């Protein structure tokens, strides 16, 4: 008999700090389960171990790998310390332990709470365990939330990682100490800005000095920082400097609660209103003194004022560099405005760069809008659009009929599941027959659900397409052949623009306005 051992170190009992650590909890689980498997004479197929995941988290990588291997019948038994280590969700208990595992020929065993699917008599006990674990999850979540809220109100740091410039105090939980190596960089950023250096210029200076950005610094220090690496992710950027300059943590004020969890069953967070954040002054030593902080905040407010001409903002967040994909930033030379690649500016080797005057870009965009206006007013195009509208409405009717059919199928499968249960209780069906039959019904129901959701999505897309077509006409008629560009026109008609590096041979700057992504052509795609 081959056995798969599953271990889980939950967030509530973790005790490790670095990625190379193997917690005592995990070690104990492995030792206990290996010993038990050996005593039973079982062959250990493999050990699956998840760290820092709750029993309600369905995204556990090793948990999902275990399920995939079980589906392909690579082992005969799943062995855990407790049922709750496998899952705390009653739904997953029923789905896998009582549903799929018997079909796949997998036995489930947990040592401490004596769960064993080979013992038919303790099924109710396993179900009760699942229900109790579900309640425990919800209660624990509320308790933890209450404790964390109290700690935030009192200024205790509860994050997994300290803010760049600080480190966790090993002697006092919830307290921060200055990390001098990083703090020196923070001081340099604030000082340079107070001396008149822009955020991009500061980023460039730090990159030229070879200073790792906050994310890379954490990785180099061996901290278990899980943010994925991406292109040029080690570089300092404008927005990193901007966020640092406005962070009150650097003057000794603890600011927490900027994000809140969506549900106790997921790690997903969402932003919270600024007025709900938790602030506590003088909780830790300041890196930036009050005078320098006030100077910087005053300068930030002054720089935030819009330019009188409004030219620099006309393409804000619309133009990307073809080389690196990042948004291009505005700059001014004498009386002329330009857009340049931010990545190339802060680190020349990271991207070949793109550069274009705002005037040249305006001309290119105006030309494209004029072309689109002419195309829309063409009679043949209008007739084509009319025919397209008719086709879309016909497709909508077909989708609605299919959705109705799938709904009826779902009802039929659900009735079959209910009848199978009654037949099992009355002894008409054996356990095996019941599982096989319900699995067949379940698969049929799931398939009809998928097809129905697909048709619903298609119906939504068709409806949006039709609406966008009508809206496109209104927009075009509103902005027919404009003489000059405004912020409003760009926002309405242009999704994004890609600018490439100037050609040495022709002297031309490649400008791409992807028609398939513009609002103007949404109806025709």
Distance CA 463, CA 403 (A): 15
pLDDT, tens digit, for every residue of 166-185? 999 999 988 999 999 999 99
Q: What is the pLDDT of residue 330?
A: 76
Mean pLDDT computed over 33-50: 88
Q: What is the pLDDT of residue 478?
A: 57
Q: What is the pLDDT of residue 514?
A: 61
Using pLDDT thresholds of 50, 70 and 90, give the confidence band for residue 413. Answer: confident
Mean pLDDT computed over 125-136: 55
Using pLDDT thresholds of 50, 70 and 90, give the confidence band for residue 287. Answer: very high
For the question of whether the overall pTM of this predicted structure is more than 0.85, the answer is no
Q: What is the pLDDT of residue 166?
A: 95
Share of the chain above pLDDT 90, in %: 18
Mean pLDDT computed over 146-156: 78
Strands (DSSP E) found in 323-403: 328-333, 336-341, 355-357
Q: Tell me if residue 321 falls in helix, strand or coil.
A: strand
Domains of the chain: 2-152 (3.40.50.1390), 166-303 (3.90.1750)
Lowest-confidence range among 45-59, 111-125, 378-392, 486-500?
A: 378-392
Q: What is the pLDDT of residue 444?
A: 82
Q: How far is CA 286 from CA 173, 282, 509, in A?
A: 18, 8, 48
Mean pLDDT computed over 246-275: 77
> Within 10 A of 457 (CB to CB), how many other CB atoms are there?
11
Using pLDDT thresholds of 50, 70 and 90, give the confidence band for residue 263. Answer: low
Q: What is the pLDDT of residue 125?
A: 62
3-state helix, strand, coil in the chain (%, to 5): 55, 15, 30
Distance CA 503, CA 506 (A): 6
Q: What is the pLDDT of residue 524?
A: 41
Q: Which residue has the higher pLDDT, 108 or 342?
A: 108
pLDDT of 43 > 60? The answer is yes
Q: What is the pLDDT of residue 458?
A: 83
Q: What is the pLDDT of residue 17?
A: 42
Segment holding 215, helix H or strand E: helix 214-220
Mean pLDDT computed over 332-344: 78
Write the burial class of residue 227 (CB in 10 Å: 0-12 exposed, 13-18 middle, 19+ buried). Answer: exposed
Provide the β-strand partners of residue 18.
223
Write the burial class of residue 206 (CB in 10 Å: 0-12 exposed, 13-18 middle, 19+ buried). Answer: buried
pLDDT, tens digit, for every residue of 445-478? 888 888 888 888 888 887 776 666 555 555 555 5
Mean pLDDT of the chain: 77
pLDDT of 146 > 80? The answer is no
Q: How far is CA 422 from CA 99, 113, 310, 418, 481, in A?
A: 17, 30, 73, 7, 71
Q: Are 19 and 219 in contact (CB under 8 A)?
A: no
pLDDT of 497 > 90? The answer is no
């Amino acid at each position: 008999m081959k056995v798969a051992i599953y271990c889980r170190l939950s967030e509530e009992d973790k005790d490790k700090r670095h990625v190379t650590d193997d917690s005592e909890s995990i070690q104990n689980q492995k030792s206990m389960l290996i010993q038990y498997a050996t005593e039973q004479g079982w062959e250990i197929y493999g050990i699956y171990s998840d760290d820092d995941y709750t029993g309600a988290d369905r995204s556990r990588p090793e948990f999902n790998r275990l399920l995939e291997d079980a589906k392909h019948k690579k082992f005969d038994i799943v062995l855990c310390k407790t049922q709750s280590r496998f899952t705390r969700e009653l739904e997953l208990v029923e789905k896998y332990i009582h549903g799929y595992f018997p079909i796949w020929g997998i036995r489930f065993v947990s040592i401490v709470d004596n769960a064993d699917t080979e013992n038919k008599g303790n099924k109710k006990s396993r179900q009760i365990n699942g229900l109790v674990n579900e309640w425990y999850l919800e209660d624990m979540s509320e308790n933890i939330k209450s404790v964390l809220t109290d700690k935030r109100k009192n200024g205790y740091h509860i994050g997994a990682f300290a803010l760049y410039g600080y480190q966790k105090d090993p002697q006092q939980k919830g307290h921060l100490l200055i990390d001098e190596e990083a703090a020196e960089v923070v001081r340099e950023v604030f000082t340079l800005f107070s001396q008149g250096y822009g955020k991009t210029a500061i980023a460039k200076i730090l990159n030229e000095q070879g200073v790792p950005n906050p994310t890379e610094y954490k990785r180099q220090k061996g901290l278990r920082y899980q943010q994925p690496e991406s292109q040029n992710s080690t570089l300092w950027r404008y927005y990193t400097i901007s966020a640092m300059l406005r962070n009150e943590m650097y003057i000794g004020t603890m600011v927490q609660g900027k994000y809140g969890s969506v549900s106790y069953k997921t790690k997903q967070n969402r932003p919270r209103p600024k007025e709900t954040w938790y602030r506590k002054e003088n909780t830790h030593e300041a890196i930036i003194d009050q005078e320098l902080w006030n100077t910087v905040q005053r300068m930030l407010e002054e720089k935030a004022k819009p330019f009188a001409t409004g030219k620099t903002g006309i393409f804000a967040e619309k133009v990307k560099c073809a080389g690196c994909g990042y948004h291009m930033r505005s700059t001014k030379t004498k009386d002329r405005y330009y857009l340049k690649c931010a990545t190339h500016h802060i680190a020349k080797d990271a991207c070949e760069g793109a550069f274009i005057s705002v005037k040249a870009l305006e001309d290119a965009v105006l030309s494209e809008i004029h072309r689109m206006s002419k195309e829309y007013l063409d009679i043949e195009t209008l007739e084509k659009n009319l025919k397209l509208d008719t086709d879309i409405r016909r497709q909508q009717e077909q989708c609605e009929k299919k959705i109705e059919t799938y709904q009826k199928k779902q009802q039929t499968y659900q009735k079959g599941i209910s009848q199978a249960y009654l037949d099992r209780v009355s002894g008409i069906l054996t356990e095996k027959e019941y599982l096989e039959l319900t699995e067949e019904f379940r698969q049929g129901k799931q398939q009809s659900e998928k097809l129905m959701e697909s048709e619903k999505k298609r119906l939504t897309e068709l409806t949006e397409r039709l609406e966008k077509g009508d809206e496109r006409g209104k927009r075009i008629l509103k902005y027919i052949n404009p003489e000059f560009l405004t912020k409003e026109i760009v926002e309405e008609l242009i999704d994004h623009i890609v600018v490439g590096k100037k050609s040495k041979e022709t002297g031309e700057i490649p400008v791409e306005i992807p028609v398939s992504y513009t609002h103007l052509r949404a109806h025709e795609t």
